[in-house]
Structure 1
Amino acid sequence: DVEFHVPTTNCKFISNHFKNFNVKPIGMMPWNLCIKNFGYPLYKAMTDTDMVLICDNILFDRKFYNPLFNNLASIALFAPICKRKNIPIILYNVSVGPIDYPVGKKALQKVLDATALVVTRDTATKEIFDNLHLNYPELHIHADCAMNTEPPPAERMDAIIAKEGLFTNPKGTIGFNVNAYIDNWSEGGTFTRDDFCNAIAGAADQVIDELDVDVIFFVTQVMDLKVTKECTAKIRKQDRVKIISNVDYRYEEIAALLAKVEVHSGLRTHTLIFCAAMGTPMIGITSYPKSAGFLRTVGQGEWQVPFEKLTADYLGSMVKKAWEVREKTGEEIVRVAEKEKEKARLTASFLTKYFS
């Protein structure tokens, strides 16, 4: 009986990938009277509804005045209207931060003043609230709902694997994932796109040569496909490389493929979450706080490559180290993941009282 309105720049993607749910995409293109999240669609979505769910990691203050990148400024603008109209804002499965500037702190407090409930997927969010001395409502530390992703039937996965020619190497397959932001989150901001691609490709070359494995680059956000292709184009042995993208496959299909790699190294947090859900050893290239927070939550805090230290040798050596202990690590992840999955299952129950 619940209809979800989702502001998005890609209505077709939402309609195609979530057609089994009661979801209505709300366009955020210039002809919808907005500059991405700044304009009428977000105002309409937040003020003409019964509840506002803010998910994932969109409350941060980097590039605060750029609506093409930052969401906090626009959400903070409309949050007081929600409060006046008694429309509860729920921070649901969130990771918040970084909040580094006074303007970001002020904006986040405006959002929290209109928020009825916070359900975070890591301890770092509460630490940010407390360290900034922010006032916040009832807060629960739970787990991301993606932890309970269910793989598709075996027949469907066999068809995908056959079509794409995956997992044909008896030595194994390593997963990689990159994203389009490159250095928006790095401290120095001096890491060029070419430097980044060389580092990723160099690490892939090392694991292909030294472990004699194949590699798959997983794309979970369409915007990342271009930089993924730039990285893979630099890998020497092109016949050992595949790209699997959410342009072609649904999130649960990608998760099921991640279950079959020996080790995965990713920038996007949700590739790490899928790995945890499937019991796959992971390495996080931690370019933003939510990835580091998630790794600590699932007991994998040691498996990080800080973005500012990213080199081909550093990442390559981490993948090779993870390869050596992959069975033991996988067993550890499965044990922790079961607890996280139970927490994720309980999260939705917190919303019940807001529908009465």
Structure 2
Amino acid sequence: MANYKIVISGYYGFNNAGDEAMLSAIIQSLRSTFDTPEITVISGSPAKTSWIFDVKAIPRFGMLPIIKSIFRSDLIISGGGSLLQDVTSWKSMIYYLSIITLGVLFRKRVFLYSQGIGPVRYRVIRIVLKHVLNHVDVITVRDKESKGFLERLGVKRRIYTTADAVLSLHPPKLEPGRAILDAEGIPADKKIIGVAIRRWEKKYSWTNDLISYINKIASLKDYAVVFIPMQSPDDRVASEEIAGNLAKENIFRLQGGYTLDELISIIGNCNLIVGMRLHALIFSALMRVPFIGISYDPKIDNFLSLIGLEPGASVQHLDAEKLYNKTCHILEHGMPPKVWDSVQDLQHYAGENANILRRFVETKEETR
């Protein structure tokens, strides 16, 4: 299986740590499956993606290069994350469906890799999604909710429930993260509560309650609160928007641009992560750092339910006092051991994405 030509589609090249981690996991599995695969990534920043991952990259809206790459390929991978949902944007969903449809029309092998699918609000998009996915080769999803949604939709292809592919990554060392925290002025004698928030335009009063919560945990003796940007510059902007209402003591905002391993290492140096960003929670799980999820999207609830947890709060209802009490409880007692057992199980299932891909390719090769 040398020189296999593979095109990967996803939300890459936008400085989103979760999606870049997903791409890293997919490329890792491809390089363990194929001999010298020729990988092309559709990216918002082709030069940066090419440099970081040592792959060919083409522009996200360069339709001619995309069509040429798909036509010349052996395999199309629609890669991970919440690509097929229309809550964030129905336009982006149509875009990703168009890439998959091109693969189907060109009679290429199409593999949906560790997807989180839904919600899909618009009936016409649900109809298109059903028909397109009934013509792909393999579908793996990261949670049972995604599988249930597709089955109710009428997708007849076999659907494998695995886990978020990011959990198959190898944890980085802690030293680089600690060095960054030192350089950013985070006191070495303080324990760290990392906060990973994002901008969310829907008008709830959650930001006022979040400010009250952060000010309260910043008053904890021996702790520092550190805002960790999972997507730059968006998350830094989110922290800046509330910074004027925060206490000045023991609250820090990381300012640098970090590699994926550096960011995971920073999270590994924390004592607790409080996050809206899904992959802030997944990175915490990977590094065995206790975490609390703030729900703004079903994907947060779905991940937490896989390991027997519920969100500590939501943007619809953020009770600062309740969240503070939960924080103190976890800082004192840690996470229940069964949570880490469940995380270990998910890491096994995450590795199954690569195994399913390998079996699929080998079977196709044998039937040629």
Q: TM-score, normalised by structure 2?
A: 0.79
* 1:320 has 2:328 as partner: yes
Partner of 2:223: 213
SS at 1:309's partner residue? coil
The one-character-per-residue Cα deviations of 1:106-134 (angstroms, maximum 9, x if unpaired) are 132133123211111111101111333x2
1:167, distance to aligned residue in structure 2 (A)? 5.3
Is the 2:176–2:265 Cα contact (8 Å) retained in structure 1?
no
Provide the C-alpha distance between the structure 2 equivalents of 1:76 and 1:315, rounded to a whole number of angstroms.
39
How far has the Cα of 1:169 moved from its partner? 3.7
| Structure 1 position 337 matched with structure 2 position 337 | no
Query: SS where residue 216 of structure 1 aligns?
Result: strand
Amino acid at match of 1:139: I
SS in 1 for 2:316: helix
* Unaligned stretches of 5+ residues in structure 2: 1-35
The structural deviation recorded for 1:314 is: 4.6
Equivalent in the alignment of 1:106 = 127
Q: CA deviation at 1:196?
A: 4.6
8 Å CA contact 1:7–1:42 kept in 2: the answer is yes
The structural deviation recorded for 1:138 is 2.0
C-alpha RMSD of matched pairs (Å): 2.6
Structure 1 residue runs of 4 or more that deviate by more than 6 Å after TM superposition: none
Structure 1 counterpart of 2:250, from 240, 259, 267: 240
Could you tell me which amino acid in structure 2 is paired with residue 218 of structure 1?
I
CA drift of 1:43 comes to 4.5
Identify which of 180, 192, 214 aligns with 1:204. Answer: 214
Quote how far apart the aligned CAs of 1:40 are.
4.7
Q: Kindly provide the amino acid, as one letter, of the partner of residue 258 in structure 2.
A: Y
Kindly indicate whether residue 115 of structure 2 is the aligned counterpart of residue 94 of structure 1.
Answer: yes
2:17 matched to which residue of 1?
Answer: none
Cα deviation digits, residues 298-349 of structure 1 (max 9, x gap): 222x2432221125445434323433432x43x3333222222222223212
User: Kindly tell me: are residues 85 and 190 of structure 1, through their superposed partners in 2, closer, same or farther at Cα, counting changes over 3 Å?
Assistant: same
Q: Give the residue type in structure 1 aligned to 2:103.
A: C
Structure 1 segment 24-103 matched on structure 2, within 5 A:
24-28=56-60, 32=62, 39-40=63-64, 43-44=67-68, 46-54=70-78, 55-62=80-87, 65=90, 67=91, 71-103=92-124
- State the partner residue of 1:307: 315
Verify: 1:162 aligned to 2:162, yes or no: no
Point out where structure 1 has 5 or more consecutive residues left out of the alignment: 33-38, 184-188
Of all paired residues, the percent bearing the same amino acid is 22
Please state whether the residue corresponding to 2:245 is helix, strand or coil.
coil
Quote the residue 2:26 is aligned against: none
Structure 1 position 261 matched with structure 2 position 270: yes
Aligned-pair CA distance for 1:81: 3.2
**CA deviation profile, 1:213-239 (whole Å, cap 9, x unmatched):** 2111111212322112223343112x4
- The count of residues paired between Structure 1 and Structure 2 equals 325
Report the Cα distance in structure 2 between the residues aligned to 1:62 and 1:241, rounded to whole angstroms. Answer: 33
Does the aligned pair in 2 maintain the 1:52–1:90 contact within 8 Å?
A: yes
> How far apart are residue 44 of structure 1 and its match?
4.8
- Cα distance in 2 for partners of 1:8, 1:342 equals 29
Answer whether contact 1:266 1:283 (CA < 8 A) is retained: yes
Verify: 1:115 aligned to 2:115, yes or no.
no
The SS at the match of 2:159 is strand
Corresponding residue for 1:186?
none
Quick one: which of 146, 169, 174 aligns to 1:149? 169
* Structure 1: distance between partners of 2:275 and 2:155: 34
**Partner residue, 1:354:** 361
Between the aligned partners of 1:45 and 1:240, the Cα distance in structure 2 is 50
Q: Which moved more, 1:309-318 or 1:250-259?
A: 309-318
Q: TM-score, normalised by structure 1?
A: 0.81
- What is the aligned partner in structure 1 of residue 155 from structure 2? 135
In structure 1, how many angstroms separate the alpha carbons of the residues matched to 2:319 and 2:269?
Answer: 26
Question: 2: CA distance between counterparts of 1:229 and 1:13?
Answer: 26
Structure 1 distance, partners of 2:244, 2:50, is 31
Q: How far did residue 28 of structure 1 move? A: 3.1
- Cα deviation, 1:84-104, whole Å, max 9, x if unaligned, reads 322122111111111122123
